[in-house]
Every structure is written in structure tokens, then in C-alpha cells.
A and B are shown apart, each in its own frame.
Chain A
Amino acid sequence: MKILVAVKRVADYNVKVRAKSDNTGPDLANVKMAINPFCEIAVEEAVRLKEKGIATEIIVVSIGAQAAQEQVRTALALGADRGILITTDTDLESLAVAKCLKAVCDNESPDIVLLGKQAIDGDNNHTGQMLGALTGWAQATFASELTIDGDSATVIREVDAGLQTIQIKLPAIVTADLRLNEPRYASLPNIMKAKKKTIDSTTPADLGVDVAPRTTLLKAEPPAERKAGIKVEDVAQLVDKLKNEAKVIS
């Protein structure tokens, strides 16, 4: 069984990202970059499927600037077998990403495509669903448990009301939620081995995908700063403020 995993290069989850002073976007100069945490969970799930003897090959794909090669290498160190890097300097929208991934699916014919449910930079939660539509394959989003059984998979999904268990036919798109697994550390011996694994480079144009943006970013600005809190002297003052200033009790 062949698994395709998509990873995105994003600002490290722990970095406090600031807006550029001219409000044209987030300031990512000298910011620590890492694999999007949900994508990392997708990689871990693929590696676990391989360790269980279910998957035979894991292909990791990333789309972005040349620097995204770092994240492909990390995924290779975590256990993926080979990489594909689709380089572009355009800031891609979800649909363009999904179309690129569709082209890779056409070339590679994976049985499962594993993605993060969303990237922590755009927070769009689009790509998996759009890829589902483009390929016409079954999709299971927000997965917190994935069990493969022959040519079908049972997926427990995290939905608003609780957990939903569904069965889907392969090939399928599965997007990872937070509780699917806890990713391992990249071991140094594996990082060294990963250097010898191949990464094929291509471009959206080579894949026949038009990635021209359809939306324009007008302005990026930081959220309004919260006013500092105050300490109340006693319960009476608290009640008074809740009643008359905050107006949350009457």
C-alpha cells in the first residue's frame, strides 16, 4: 500500500508572529520554521502504518519555496521513503495546493493521502476537502483514529458533537486531527539516512497547474491589544462592576 503525505512549512507553533510594519503580511524574517503540527501528525500516522506492515511506501510532498526542502527532509528522517518538492515562490491558495496534490495523485496513484486537517498559518481547513472533490475519492476529515482493513478504512472523526465512526473505501483522503497520535522525535541516525533519500523537484507549471491567486491580501494587522485588568477591592465592588460596567448580571 502506497501512502502520500503532504507537509507544509509554517512558522514554528511556539513563535509569536508579528505583522509587518507596513501591514502587508506576517513578518517571517528570521522566524523559526517547522512542519505544520497537524502535517507532522499525518507523517507519524503514515510511519506507524508502515511499521505495522500495512504501508509499503511513504511519499512525502511539500509545496512552497525551495526552503521547504528542510521539512521534506524532516519527514524523510521520521520515516518517509522519498520526497517530492513542488517549488514556487507564489503564496498558494488552498485550491492551488489541492490541484498540485491532485496532479501528484495522478502520477503516483496512492491508496491513502494523509494530510493535516489544517495549517496553523492560514487556518483554512480547505485542502483535504478540495482534494477529495478533485479526485472523487472518499474523504475522512478530523481523524483521531485510523484503522485499515483490506481495501477499506475505519476512521473515528472528531466532530462538534463528539466522535463519529465512519467506514470509507480506498483510495481515500484522510486529514489528521490533534489526537490521532503523538509524533516521535527525529533520530539522528535517521536524519543521516534521510540525506541519502531522493527528493524529486518539480513545479506547478510542470504539473500543469495554474496557481495564480484569486484573492488579494489587503491588510494584515495584529489583533487589538487587550486592556490590562484591574484588581477589585472587595466582592461588593466586583458585583457592582459586573452589574454596571460589564452588564453581565442584573
Chain B
Amino acid sequence: MDKNTLQQLQAIVGEARVLCDADSLQNYGLDRTTVWTAAPCAIVLPGSIEEVQAIVRLAASEDLAIVPSGGRTGLSGGAVARSGELVLALDRMNKVIDFNAVDRSLTCQAGIITQQLQEYAAQQGLFYPVDFAATGSSQIGGNIATNAGGINVIRYGMTRDWVLGLKVVTGNGDILELNRGLLKNNTGYDFRHLFIGSEGTLGIICEATLRLAPPPQERAVLVLGVSDFPAIMDVLKTYSGALTLNAFEFFSDLALEKVLAHQPLSPPFTARTPYYALLEIEQSHPDSLDTAMSLFEHCVEQGWVLDGVVSQNQTQAKNLWRLREDISETLSFSKPYKNDIAVTISKMPDFILAVDQLTQQHYPDFEVVWFGHIGDGNLHLNILKPDALSVEDFNQQCNAVSVAVAELVQSFGGSISAEHGIGLLKKPYLSYTRSDTEIALMQEMKRLFDPQGILNPGKLI
């Protein structure tokens, strides 16, 4: 960055809030992907929406690309700065601005850590239900920009379902106040929803008004050992028909094996089964657990389920959840090639079979780890790098797998990115899920909000 621009940036936010040291550039330049090298020109830490606006205007006049940055827990490279961009990090904008008990809503700045937001809601006797493994680091702005999903989607939906209003700065430097917290507002195009999931390409989300839910009732976690994948769907059908499910997750035995090898956790039961289903049920009724039990009996009689446990206290509930939630972190040691795919729930068994056949046929040496949010039709396919293979060779082979998987996704009418977003990683495959016409419209839309193309260029579209 030239000295003049640097000085102007410093004039906006203060000298200490523009970082150029090597550690910061490295830290702020990458998300949780491991493919690219960080190379931003500087990091700027604004403290208000006006400062964000001034930075965007300066960047527009200097033709400087901006990468908006939250907790950088993304898995698709959406927050990666690899070619001299300015990283605009929302870290300092982390306050709750307003809470309204009557509206059951809160307004906060975009840089608040998701977990802090959840805790704030809990202190008010309410509940922010979007939850996933990275909430201790991720920020709400990033959650909105990527329409984060997670483990409670089956019950509560995605981040999109909880956003009542947004304040954004567009690539033009305009401040837009979108929807203003209203529940009902039929006054034309709802730009709020364009910004949700826009991955920082249309504007910088600075403030958000979020809807809060009543706190959940007591919850119990069941882990069931399942004989094969189609049986998981039968179990899902059985349980979702009779009980309120907060989550319905699954993982393969290989996923469990990896977690147990790396984490101080006990297996749910001594028998090993090919797949496991994790269910969180809300005990909304005194008989909920009895119902869960008789459904279990039914599933065993049908031969779908081989064994099962239920949490007796909250510690056990947490530890059972860790068997599922720790998978991602555990696998990260072996630099996995990650796919986050969605198909309609009914198509999942055939789809998973087709992908298994594909990998077994062409890549018999690869360890394939399956887990995901079955209740949402969302599968995480992870391929682990064999020790014998170099990272480069492995990535090259995986790219070939990706094309084949994307073709399968397309033929099943699915999505090549269910909740991780497109970023850099999935961009080559976007056309397998979105038509050319759609992509062209998206590009035109971006030009409307960001005519100079300074916001997160190269990402998404």
C-alpha cells in the first residue's frame, strides 16, 4: 500500500488500528482453509459504521480491493486475502446496541462473537438458536454474510430466518438500512435477503437486528448405532414424525474412530456399527423420553438400529454432542478435502451410495469420512490424505473427484455447497448448481451494489 493511502486510512481509524506487521497479515489473511497463502496489504479495524463508510469510499477512490473479515472460521476461502487486498476486520464493532423484550429482538454490531450473542440472549431469558462448532470464534456479521447453518437447522432454520434487519455499507459507499427490524414489510424487493449469504461481495454488514426465540425446554441426546445408510432415513422418518427434533445428525464409524483416537471421549456403547445417528429431542412433554424409547424399540424390531444410548445429564449430553462436533477439528490434522453437499432428504441414500461407489472405484486408497446434518439433507464428505501422497498430488486428485461429485450432485438436483458457501474453493463448481442465466444475473446485481468491483473480488461469482 502506498504511504498516502496508509496515512488516509490512519486518519480515519487512528494509527494503531491499521496493522501491517507480518503476524497480523498472516492471521487476518486466512480463514480455516489451507489452500492459499495470505498476502493482504494491510488490516484496518474500524470502530463505527461511519468509519467503514469512509474506508470503503477511500478504497473506491484508490481502486483498492477490500476483503471483509469476521471470525474467519469459513471453510470455502471467502475471507482469504491472497493478492494485496485490504482486510476490513469488524473485531472492534462488537457491541449490543439495543435489546427489546417486547419485540424479542436485539440489535448488535456485526463483529460480536456468535457465542457472546447467544450468551447475551440467554441472560435475557431468550435464545439465539443458530449454533455450530465454531460459534466461539465466528462473528455474527460473518454468519449473516455466509447464511450460516449448523446443528439446529432442522428445528430453527438457517441464519437467514433470524435476521430482521441489517445496516450495510455498499461498494458505492452508501449506508443502507434494510427492513428496520420489521416482521411484516411488503414494500418491494427485500434487499436484506440479498445481503444474507452474499459473502461480502455486495456490501459490508455493519449492524444486524436479530429475532430471538423462547428458550428451549430440557433437551436429551440420543446416539443410535445404525446398520446401514437407508436405515438412518427410516429412523429419521420414525422420530421426526413423533417428536420435536432439535437436531438429527449422522456420522460414519470411521468418523467416530478418528474422534476417539484424538479426543478424550468414550464411545457411546461397546458395539461398533457402520453408522451413528445423533438425535437431540426437546422434552416438550413429560412423556417425550418414553416416546423416544418406544420408537427405539420399534427401530430395533425393524432391524434399523443395533444399539443406543441416551444422555442422563447435561455433561453426558455435551460429551455425546462432541462425538459429532469434534469431527471437523479432528480431521483437520490430516488436511482433508472437504465437500459440503445437499440433496433433498429423500434422495440421500441413493446419492451417498453413488458417491461411495465413485470413490471406491477410482480412488480405493482414499479414506472417505461421512458425517452431516441428515435432517437437513446436508452431507459433509471428507477425503483424507493418504500419508504416501504429497499434498499437491492429493489436491490434484481431489479436484478430479470434485468434478465427478459435482456432476453427481447436478444429476441429483442438489447443491455443491449446502452451508459453507462458495468463496474461492467452490467457485469452479458453481455452475453445477446455478444456471448460466442465474450466474449472469448475480454478476449484474453485484455491479449495481459494487460498480467498481472492490468488495471481495474473485469470490463467489
Contacts and interface: CB of A to CB of B under 8 A. Distances in A.
Nearest to B289: A191
SS of A interface (majority)? mixed
Contacts, number: 57
| Size category of the binding interface on chain A | 10 to 19
A187 B269 contact: yes
A13 B266 contact: no
Interface in B286-327: 293, 296-297, 300, 307-316, 318, 320
B222 interface: yes
A188 B313 contact: no
Interface string A21-51: 0000000000010110100100000000000
A192 interface: yes
B307 A74 contact: no
Contacts of A32: 218, 313-314
Contact of A34 (B222, B223, B268, B312): B312
A35 B310 contact: no
Contacts of B320: 185
Interface string A182-223: 101111110110000000000000000000000000000000
Contacts of A34: 312-314
A40 B300 CA distance: 28
Contact of B310 (A12, A40, A188): A188
Interface centre among A15, A182, A186 (most CB of B within 10 A): A186
Nearest to A33: B313
Contacts of B312: 34-35, 40, 74, 185-186
B293 A13 contact: no
Interface centre among B307, B316, B320 (most CB of A within 10 A): B316
Nearest to B300: A189
Interface centre among A37, A187, A192 (most CB of B within 10 A): A187
A90 interface: no
A23 to B, nearest CB: 21
Contacts of B222: 188
Contacts of A74: 312
Contacts of A189: 300, 307-308
A185 B309 contact: yes
Interface string B220-256: 0011100000000000000000000000000000000
B55 to A, nearest CB: 26
Interface centre among A35, A74, A182, A184 (most CB of B within 10 A): A184
A185 B313 contact: no
Given A192-B293, A192-B297, A187 B308 contact: yes
B104 to A, nearest CB: 20
B311 A185 contact: yes
B432 to A, nearest CB: 41
24 contacts: A13-B315, A14-B313, A34-B313, A34-B314, A35-B313, A37-B313, A37-B315, A40-B312, A74-B312, A185-B269, A185-B312, A185-B320, A187-B269, A187-B307, A187-B308, A188-B222, A188-B293, A188-B309, A188-B310, A189-B307, A189-B308, A191-B310, A192-B296, A192-B297
Interface of B: 218, 222-224, 266, 268-269, 293, 296-297, 300, 307-316, 318, 320
